[in-house]
Amino acid sequence: MNKRVSVLFVIVTFTILICSCTRGVWGDPNPKGLGSEYLKSTGVQDETIDRIANRKEMSRDEFEKYSRSDDVNVRHLIASNTHIPSDLLSVLVKDKHFFVREGAAYNTSINKDMIDMLKNDTNLSVLSLLVTNPSVPEDDIIRIYNTNKKYYLSWCAMNAKCPGTIHDDILKSDDEMARSWLRITEDRAKKNENNPAK
């Protein structure tokens, strides 16, 4: 019975965590869905909406235009797009809305200056996504992790380049969710190694 309850707890927790990543931490807007709705309501062409929602390559003019959108979901999508020019991303890293900064924290194209700014963010959800980012140096991840090990354990487990000391902490912990995320991340990394084209 206890094992069944534990498994159910893990499944429910996974669902909540996955929803948080998709909708924004702490139940913020769904950037893809709500961003697309907003763009459609303002008359943006379907092809452009698809490029924004699916974080595809766009022209500099498009990145510039939509990085200034009034809609937080659209700015989040632009901030998390790896194709965005660095100078435009550096502006979104300082956005007043944490949800946009979350998008930037998740973007693997961020550079050292952007990481230095984001690692000092006061918002936990921004820092949570930053420690999942494999482009962030190990020392920065460890520094954030050490501020609240229990809280960041599962988030660090989602990083394909999880630092060795944190990896060991996850394996030693009784945090089933963190250990499960570590397995998922490692399995995904192996699949990517075996199928680099995908």
Max alpha carbon distance in the chain (Å)? 58
| Judgement on whether residues 104 and 146 belong to the same structural domain of the protein | no
DSSP notation for 135-147 = TS-HHHHHHHHHH
Express as a percent the part of the chain with pLDDT over 70.
Answer: 84
| Judgement on whether residues 75 and 161 belong to the same structural domain of the protein | no
Q: Which domain holds residue 172?
A: 137-198
| Judgement on whether residues 39 and 79 belong to the same structural domain of the protein | yes
How many independent structural domains does the chain possess? 2
| Judgement on whether residues 83 and 167 belong to the same structural domain of the protein | no
Instruction: Report CA-CA distances (Å) from 162 to 58, 129, 149.
Output: 31, 13, 14
| Judgement on whether residues 16 and 112 belong to the same structural domain of the protein | yes
| Judgement on whether residues 40 and 83 belong to the same structural domain of the protein | yes
| Judgement on whether residues 118 and 179 belong to the same structural domain of the protein | no
* Residue, of 136 and 191, whose pLDDT is higher: 136
In one-letter notation, the amino acid at residue 190 is: K
Residue at 12 is within a domain: yes
Q: Give the chain's length.
A: 198
Q: Quote the pLDDT of residue 190.
A: 87
Average pLDDT along the chain? 88
| Judgement on whether residues 162 and 114 belong to the same structural domain of the protein | no
| Judgement on whether residues 90 and 4 belong to the same structural domain of the protein | yes
pLDDT band of 54, cuts 50, 70, 90: very high
| Judgement on whether residues 5 and 47 belong to the same structural domain of the protein | yes
pLDDT (mean) for 62-82: 98
Whether residue 12 is predicted with pLDDT greater than 70 in this model: the reply is no
Residue at 132 is within a domain: no
| Judgement on whether residues 163 and 79 belong to the same structural domain of the protein | no
pLDDT tens string 74-133: 999 999 999 999 999 999 999 999 999 999 999 999 999 999 999 999 999 999 999 999
Whether residue 29 is predicted with pLDDT greater than 70 in this model: the reply is no
Picking from 92, 122, 152, the residue at the C-terminal end of a domain is: 122
Residue at 130 is within a domain: no
pLDDT (mean) for 45-64: 98
Residue at 127 is within a domain: no
Q: Cβ-count burial of 23 within 10 angstroms (0-12 exposed, 13-18 middle, 19+ buried)?
A: middle
Q: Quote the pLDDT of residue 5.
A: 40
Picking from 97, 122, 147, the residue at the C-terminal end of a domain is: 122
Q: Quote the pLDDT of residue 194.
A: 79
Provide the H-helix boundaries in 107-175.
Answer: 112-118, 124-131, 138-147, 149-157, 164-172
| Judgement on whether residues 40 and 92 belong to the same structural domain of the protein | yes
Residue at 102 is within a domain: yes
Whether residue 4 is predicted with pLDDT greater than 60 in this model: the reply is no
Q: Which helix (H) or strand (E) holds 12?
A: helix 2-23
Q: How many of the other CB atoms lie within 10 Å of CB of 92?
A: 24
Q: Quote the pLDDT of residue 17.
A: 44
